Amino acid sequence: MCPHIARLATATGALALTLAFGLAGCGSESNDSNSPTATAGASGAQVEVGNTINYGSFGTTAEIDCADGKSLNVGGSNNKLTVSGTCSAVSIGGADNKITLNRIDKKLSVVGLNNTVTYKNGDPSIDNLGSGNDIKRG
């Protein structure tokens, strides 16, 4: 299999897994009680179920707001994301994503390849389950 096809298959599988976890709405402690919402466009697809934001895209630059304690699941590849607010838990799948988060309170889980993840505040437990990921507080 060609390397770029294998990477895409890995990213697509991670996106499906991430969205499956997100639909369960686990780990979120936000007091927001919005009904499920979905948006799709040039900056990717975002589905919010309960207090969990599920974002998936390929090659986009976007801003996401965790508000006050929502959980965030990200899938896809080659995205540059800036996340504001306070995320309760964050799960990142796919490859070659560059993600900057304001705050993570509980858990950061990174699955996939060559993701660069920087969080400014918080003291989450970290699971680096992929390869070539760069995770740092900065």
Is the pLDDT at 117 greater than 90? The verdict is yes
pLDDT at 121 over 70: yes
How far lies 117's CA from each of 36, 38, 39, 66, 124, in Å?
27, 25, 24, 16, 13
Burial class (CB in 10 A: 0-12, 13-18, 19+), 107: middle
Give the pLDDT of residue 44. Answer: 81
| % of the chain at pLDDT higher than 70 | 69
In 3-state terms, what secondary structure has residue 75? strand
For the chain, domain boundaries: 3-137
Query: What average pLDDT does this structure show over 39-58?
Result: 85
pTM for the full model? 0.73
Residues 94-100: what's their mean pLDDT? Answer: 97
